[in-house]
Amino acid sequence: MFFIGMTSQTIGSLIPLITLYYKISASTISLIFISQLCGSLISALVIELVHKVVGRLGVLILGNLCIIMMSLINVFKPPIWLFVMSYGVAGLGMGLLGGCMNVFISSLKSHNELMGILHGCFGIGGIVLPVIINKVLEWSFNDFGIHYLIMSWVGLLVCCCVLGSFWKEDGLKYEYEISVLRDHEAFQDNSLKNILENKVVCWFALYLFFCTGSESSVGSWLVNYLDNAKQFEQSSANFIMTFFWIGITMGRIILGFITSNLFQNEYRANLVYTTMSLLIILIFTTINLITTMNQTLTMLMIFIEGLFIGPLFPTMSVTLMKLLPIENQVNAMGVVSSLGGTGFTIGPFLIGMMVQLTGLELFPIHDL
């Protein structure tokens, strides 16, 4: 999840530089998010099959290799069409990784706490990424290809960690676990058609769509907004972006432990977290339409917003797993992560289109 967090935040931190290098508009940049969406949707169709053939180990290795492939392509600063298409491969990898790990962690004891830690690692990836990019660009004289080279090295290191941790999790073990659990539970059809007809899955996918859309829109466009609309220096904008990811990380880890003890169930916890995140973004939008926040206040508001957005995805995942039989969990989480996760790509794409029409000054309204 740390590697996914780094990959997700890369394009958001590099938008100003990539726009300048390729001499393209915000709407063209937004095609990257659509490409990711296509890859993510494909992952929903194949994740159960890949589990059966190569198990959790194969799913995790394949997901990481997809991201490594994207990074290696972009080391050479390819034509913009290939740059965009490479993120489709990355979207496939992130979909496989996310679906696999969410189901695995949800099946363990203390799942709220562990899910918070898992998704907290995603946030940590987002925290360190702007700092790394600032240093790399400063050292390489704005050569973003060097950053993608570093990302490929990180991906190879992650593959080694996966091999050491999941080397027994092959397809045969996965099939055995499912067959054992089927003997103790009434079997339900786990075909993709049956999953898509499940109203619970559809409602969770819709909820996740708005959650991820909001999170990724801030992560993808905030630096550009502060840099160009509010005249912050790019280093300052990246620094503020880091505090958004710090908030997400703290929200997932700290509130993950609080959820089990403070709330009756994850549903009520999510209701409170959602309300607070909407309130904070409303305050941020109102103030920025009237005047320009100073750096300290902007940092504080963005941090608090991240704090309440952070636990939404992990607590939603735990709730969904509690409502579904074991044989439907991988397919259902794959569908929810992919269809609901389209917000992660459609959100920034729509923001980019609206920014193209109205200007960056109205970015907070679009995100709200």
CATH architecture of the domain covering 1-184: Up-down Bundle (1.20)
Q: How far apart are CA 365 and CA 368, in angstroms?
A: 5
Three-state SS at 134: helix
The predicted pLDDT at position 95 comes to 85
Q: In this structure, what token pair is assigned to residue 360?
A: 């960056």
- DSSP type of residue 361: G
The predicted pLDDT at position 343 comes to 76
Per DSSP, the chain holds a count of helices (H) and strands (E) of 16, 0
CA 318 from chain center: how many Å? 17
Task: Pick the closest to residue 305 from 206, 211, 230, 204 (CA basis).
Answer: 211
Q: What is the pLDDT of residues 305-346, one digit of tens each?
A: 888 888 887 787 777 777 776 666 666 776 777 677 677 777
Task: Pick the closest to residue 91 from 350, 344, 367 (CA basis).
Answer: 344
Identify whether the C-beta of residue 140 lies closer than 8 Å to the C-beta of residue 75. no
Largest CA distance in the chain: 63
Identify whether the C-beta of residue 86 lies closer than 8 Å to the C-beta of residue 196. no
Residue type, 32: I
The predicted pLDDT at position 85 comes to 93
Taking the CA atoms of 214, 367, 232 and 78 in sequence, report the sign of the dihedral they define.
positive
Q: How far apart are CA 205 and CA 310, in angstroms?
A: 17
Which residue carries 């589990």 as its tokens?
51
Taking the CA atoms of 115, 120, 125 and 126 in sequence, report the sign of the dihedral they define.
positive
CATH 3.20.20.70 fits 192-367, yes or no: no
Identify whether the C-beta of residue 195 lies closer than 8 Å to the C-beta of residue 327. no
The predicted pLDDT at position 363 comes to 66
Q: In this structure, what token pair is assigned to residue 82?
A: 């290939």
Residue type, 16: P
Q: How far apart are CA 45 and CA 41, in angstroms?
A: 7
pTM: 0.71
Q: How far apart are CA 207 and CA 266, in angstroms?
A: 14
The predicted pLDDT at position 195 comes to 72
Q: In this structure, what token pair is assigned to residue 317?
A: 């995942």
Q: What is the pLDDT of residues 179-206, one digit of tens each?
A: 766 555 545 555 666 777 777 788 888 8
Kindly report, as residue ranges, where domains of CATH 1.20.1250.20 are found in the chain.
Answer: 1-184, 192-367
Low-confidence ranges of the chain (pLDDT < 50): 186
Q: In this structure, what token pair is assigned to residue 6?
A: 């780094």
